[in-house]
């Protein structure tokens, strides 16, 4: 989005009373337009960021569903001399369990 500078005219002090009131009205009308434009831009950016946040929340929900789906699943790793190793995903730690009940935890 391009930056648009706003210029608000200054009211000259050497004008007649009626001309000064007219310039004040014109300046205040333009200032109202500038304020409305600024708030419209802010509202548009907030709406864009809410959309991005909604997409991010949906991606988080999908990732949580995948983590919950694999949480607690046992996977056969291999065997060696009658010792069977299993990996079990518990939360976010990987636990290696052998048939001899030795536990090793990796973070």
pLDDT in tens, 63-102: 998 888 887 666 655 555 444 444 554 444 444 444 444 4
Domain boundaries, the chain: 10-70, 71-107
pTM for the model: 0.54
Triad 61, 66, 71: Cα angle to 5°:
120
Q: Residue holding tokens 């608000």? A: 8
Cα–Cα distance for residue pair 83/17, rounded to 1 Å: 100
Cα–Cα distance for residue pair 59/52, rounded to 1 Å: 11
- More reliable by pLDDT, 47 or 84: 47
Burial state string for 33-68 with b = 16 or more CB within 10 A and e = fewer than 16: eeeeeeeeeeeeeeeeeeeeeeeeeeeeeeeeeeee
Task: For residue 1, name the pLDDT band (cuts at 50, 70, 90).
Answer: low
pLDDT in tens, 9-39: 788 788 898 898 999 999 999 999 999 999 9
- More reliable by pLDDT, 45 or 79: 45
| Residue 47 Cα distances to 3, 9, 18, 30, 43, angstroms | 19, 32, 43, 26, 6
Q: What is the DSSP track for 42-86?
A: HHHHHHHHHHHHHHHHHHHHHHHHHHHHHTT-EEEEEEETTEEEE
């Amino acid at each position: 989005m391009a930056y648009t500078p706003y210029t608000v005219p200054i009211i000259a002090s050497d004008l007649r009373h009626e001309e000064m009131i007219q310039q004040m009205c014109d300046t205040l009308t333009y200032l109202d337009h500038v304020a409305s434009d600024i708030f419209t831009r802010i509202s548009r950016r907030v709406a864009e960021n809410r959309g991005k946040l909604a997409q991010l929340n949906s991606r988080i929900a999908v990732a949580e569903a995948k983590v919950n789906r694999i949480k607690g699943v046992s996977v056969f790793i291999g065997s060696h001399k009658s010792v069977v190793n299993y990996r079990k995903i518990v939360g976010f730690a990987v636990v290696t369990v052998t048939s001899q009940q030795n536990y090793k935890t990796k973070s």
